[in-house]
Structure formats: structure tokens, C-alpha cells
Amino acid sequence: MSTLILDKNAVRRLLGMPEVLSAVEEAFRLHAEGKAAMPPKAYLTVERGDFRAMPAALPGCAGIKWVSVHPGNLSRNLPSVMAVIIYNDRETGYPLAVMEATIITAYRTGASAAIAAKYLARKNSRTLGLIGAGYQAHTQLMAHAGIFDLEKVNVFDISAEAVSNLIKAFPDLPLRRSSIEEAAASDIVCTLTPSRRPIVKREWILPGTHVNAVGADAAGKEELDPAVLKAATVVVDDLKQAASGGEINVPVAQGIYSPDEVYGTLPEIVAGKRRGRADERQITVFDSTGIAIEDIAVAKLIYERARAQGGYPQVELV
């Protein structure tokens, strides 16, 4: 027995968004059917940031993502978020692989939002609005382009350079620089910022819009005017995480919004336990916080592809 070591270059080479979309959708279905196991995230807090342990099991596999979040790293020319997955055989516990997981996180986050849009956005959605043009915008774009036939992608960022870089990175997609209002007036809107105050106004969101609220990932962060949540059908990936650190966390803490108002979870909708969009004028919001089954599902994909292709380094780790 041996353990595959898959570094960032290997993971990048082995990842493809179409397969990630299928793997994450299937993980949601299994989760809603009670075939996954996922204890709550465990937090280890230190002076300059924190570490999060995200264990999960799916049929045939198990593992843990260990993520560090150190916001001050940018001044040291290091990413603020770094993640590693230990991927195990569920039957024996054997550690089959250790792999870079920052890229996996970006892909699965993009995929889960696009899967939310698949079930919640209007079927004829043709315009995508990206608010925030950082690294997460790349995978959001790839994922949505894998499901929707996009005619226009409106990109807003406070950094003009970030917008230009995104447009250059996808020469075959119909990207254009836009105002935040134009981006918010798209059929599908993805908010991808680290904002701590609402930046998307209620009046900008048209009837029938689907919003993926992705940026808020900790207590105190929010991107949407709470009136958007009040007007919308809100779907979460995990209710407890959403209430404590997702888009709804600030309005919940302020008593403006109650977790009881949440319609349901994306896994429930994927598994057919709840219906998706009800009509053409409904506003829908997916509050994405990220759950460990998404990571382990993608790790499984990468592991199996690496084994099938061969040639990746392996060690007798244990």
C-alpha cells in the first residue's frame, strides 16, 4: 500500500469542472439521502487567524480538509487561505492520498453555486453577473458556463485590474466590464467579495433573479441588503453554518431575519425532497458556506483519476 502525494500542479492537471459539477451534485444527493457523514467543522483559533477541520465520509471514501485562514498573509506574499486534504479508504481507514485543497475548494465552491443555479435559476437564464473578480470568479464562471448557455457576463470589481485579468483569462466567453448595478441586474448573480456591509441593494435585483451569495464565510460578513433575503426564497448548504457565518448571519444576529425563514437546503432540492424554483418571478438566494462532503467528493474524483493515469509520486507514508 502507498499514499499518493498530489501537489498543486497535479491537482490543477487532474481537475476538470464538468466532472466536479457531477461529483458535487451527487454528493449533495447522497447527503440528503443519509448516505454521507459530516460532523461539524472544528475551529482552532490562533492570534493571526484560524484553522478549520472539515471531516466527511461518502460511500467508499472518507477524509478531512484542514484549512488555514490567515488574512494577514497577503502582506507576506502568501495566500490567506491554504488547504490540504487527507483522503482515506472508508473501509480500512488507509490514507490513500494527501492533496492540495485550495484549488479543490475554489472548484467545488464554483460548482455548488452553479448546481444551486441549475435548480433555482430560471431555465432560460442567459446573463451572469459577477460581483468580485478575484480567484473565485474564475471557478464560478467555469461552473456556470458548464450549465448555462451564457450570452453576457457582467463583471464588477473595485479593482479594474482584477476585471481585466478575468476578461483576459476567458477569451471565449462573453465577458464585459460593468457597474455593480448592471451585474446585479443579471439573470444569475454571484457575490464573491469579503464585504462586511451590504453592497447589493434590494432595488437592483429584478424579479426572477437567482443570487449565489458566496462571499460571506464568517460571522460579521454580508453582501446583500437584508431586504433581498426577505423578498427571496433562501436556500442554504448547511443551516447551522449559514446562521453562524453565511450570508444570513448578520441579519440573524440583528434579529432582522430568522433561520426559520430559510426554505430548505440545496442537498434536499437536489435529492428531490423539495422543489426548486416555483415560478418565473420568484427571487431565489443560495447562501453558500461550503461543506466538507463537497471537498471529499472532489478528492475522490482526483484520487481515482490519478490512480488511473499513474505516474504521480507515492510514498509509504504509514
| Residue ranges in contact with a copy of itself by CB under 8 A | 1, 5, 7-9, 37-40, 42-49, 51, 53, 55-57, 62, 64, 66, 68-70, 73, 76, 78-79, 82-84, 86, 88, 90-95, 98, 100, 102, 313, 315-318
Q: How far is the CB of 279 from a copy of itself (least distance, A)?
A: 40
Collapsing DSSP to helix, strand or coil, 52 comes out as strand
When the beta carbons of 100 and 295 are compared against a copy of itself, the nearer one is 100
CA separation for the pair 238, 38 (Å, rounded): 11
Cβ 307 to a copy of itself shortest distance, Å = 18
Extended strands (E) in 181-266: 188-191, 196-200, 210-213, 222-224, 233-236, 264-265
Nearer to a copy of itself, 3 or 209 (CB): 3
Check if the beta carbon of residue 186 is closer than 8 Å to that of residue 199.
Answer: no
Residue among 125 and 241 whose Cβ is closer to a copy of itself: 241
Active-site residue (options: 8, 35, 41, 65): 65
Beta strands in 151-280 (DSSP E): 152-156, 175-177, 188-191, 196-200, 210-213, 222-224, 233-236, 264-265
Q: Tell me the one-letter amino acid at 71.
A: P
Please say whether the dihedral angle defined by the alpha carbons of residues 158, 171, 183 and 144, taken in this order, is positive or negative. negative
Question: Based on CB atoms, which residue is closest to a copy of itself, 23 or 86?
Answer: 86
**Cα 142–chain centre separation:** 12
Shortest CB 226 distance to a copy of itself, Å: 31
Question: Quick one: 79 or 208, whose CB is closer to a copy of itself?
Answer: 79
φ and ψ at residue 196, rounded to 5 degrees:
-115, 15
Residues in a beta bridge with 52:
43, 67
Q: State the CB neighbour count (10 A cutoff) for residue 165.
A: 15
As measured in angstroms, the least distance from the Cβ of 10 to a copy of itself is 9
User: In the annotation, is 65 catalytic?
Assistant: yes
81: cell is 487561505
Taking the C-alpha atoms of residue 266 and residue 43, their distance in angstroms, rounded to an integer, is: 24
d(CA 91, CA 82): 28
Strands annotated E in 196-292: 196-200, 210-213, 222-224, 233-236, 264-265, 284-287
User: 88 or 154, CB closer to a copy of itself?
Assistant: 88
Task: Please give the positions annotated as active site.
Answer: 65
